[in-house]
Amino acid sequence: MPAGTLYVVATPLGNLGDLTPRAAEILRAVSVVAAEDTRRTRGLLTHLGASPRLLSFHQHSETSRLELLLEILADGRDLALVSDAGTPVVSDPGSDLVSAVRQRGGTVVPIPGVSAVATALSVSGFGADRYLFLGFIPRKGAERSRLIGRAAAEEWPVVFFEAPSRLGALLTDLAAAAGPDRRAFVARELTKLHEELRSGSLGELAGYFCEQEPRGEITVVLNGTGTPAAPPDRSGEAQELALEWLAAGMSRRDVVERLVAELGLARNDAYRRVMEMQ
């Protein structure tokens, strides 16, 4: 069982003044820091006058690196996990390490701080009582289409991360799915020297960022519809399953109950569908 403590430490998005005193204290005290990009983290540690052992740990790290970090904890040494910016594990590597430590009965301590998600939501003007976070979505394919469709129909604001070279395409696809008049908000280089906060319709934002490709780290907030999304039409699936279960010898009553439980159909609707098959 790991004897050391794993600290999950939030670091600044850009402005070093946003690092909490507690985070600074932890980074000066731990024996080892596991970082997504050691070059970037080394600058932060130098700023703090901290000199722990610095190890890379990112999405392409081999299993041997995870095992090494677990060995460090097992030896009784404390370890801090940081990402390039913001809160680790949120669209960043690190969940495998946290999960492995927990499975072994180890101690994981969050050191909270800034998050690009919360920061962008706070100044979007869309409210953040409830929201959907999708992070980086695929560049193409069926999964991209599914997530964009889900975002367009979402009642609450939806938050994305996106690479600068793909921002125009994301905004264009969102405009096609949600309509060019839907409001959105783009936060670029949050807390940094060239911070840009731009609000407008999807049509306006897509046009602007397609003409002027941005640089830096980007967070996009899509305003919600304000009304619950219509439930998906599962009539075809319900009919196929009901026929299959009836053919297998299930009673009509049991088929109705199963349609309600597995597809979320209203009981009256499920009963009507089954009766129409007799």
| % pLDDT > 70, the chain | 97
pLDDT tens digits for range 155-204: 999 999 999 999 999 999 999 999 999 999 999 999 999 999 999 999 99
Sheet arrangement for strand 132-135: 132-135, 158-162, 218-222, 183-188, 196-201
Q: Residue 130: what pLDDT? A: 94
Domain extent listing, the chain: 5-114, 117-222, 235-276
CATH superfamily, region 5-114: Tetrapyrrole methylase, N-terminal domain (3.40.1010.10)
Residues present in the chain in total: 278
Q: In the predicted model, is pLDDT for residue 230 greater than 60?
A: yes
Q: Do domains 5-114 and 117-222 have the same CATH topology?
A: no
Element (DSSP H or E) covering residue 71: helix 63-74
Q: Residue 231: what pLDDT? A: 66
Q: Answer yes or no: are the C-beta atoms of 4 and 52 closer than 8 Å.
A: no
**194-200 CB contacts, 8 Å cutoff, 24+ apart:** 195/14, 197/123, 199/124, 199/125
pLDDT tens digits for range 120-163: 999 999 988 999 999 999 999 999 999 999 999 999 999 999 99
β-pairing, 32-35 vs 79-82, is parallel
Q: Answer yes or no: are the C-beta atoms of 171 and 184 closer than 8 Å.
A: yes
Q: Answer yes or no: are the C-beta atoms of 72 and 32 closer than 8 Å.
A: yes
Q: Residue 228: what pLDDT? A: 85
Here the tokens at position 21 are 């005193």
Fold classification of 117-222 (topology level): 3.30.950
How many other CB atoms sit within 10 Å of the CB of residue 164? 15
Q: Answer yes or no: are the C-beta atoms of 234 and 240 closer than 8 Å.
A: no
How many other CB atoms sit within 10 Å of the CB of residue 77? 17
For residues 91-113, give the mean pLDDT.
92
Read off the pLDDT band of 215 (50, 70, 90).
very high
For residues 114-125, give the mean pLDDT.
96
Q: Answer yes or no: are the C-beta atoms of 72 and 31 closer than 8 Å.
A: yes
pLDDT tens digits for range 13-71: 999 999 999 999 999 999 999 999 999 999 999 999 999 999 999 877 888 999 999 99
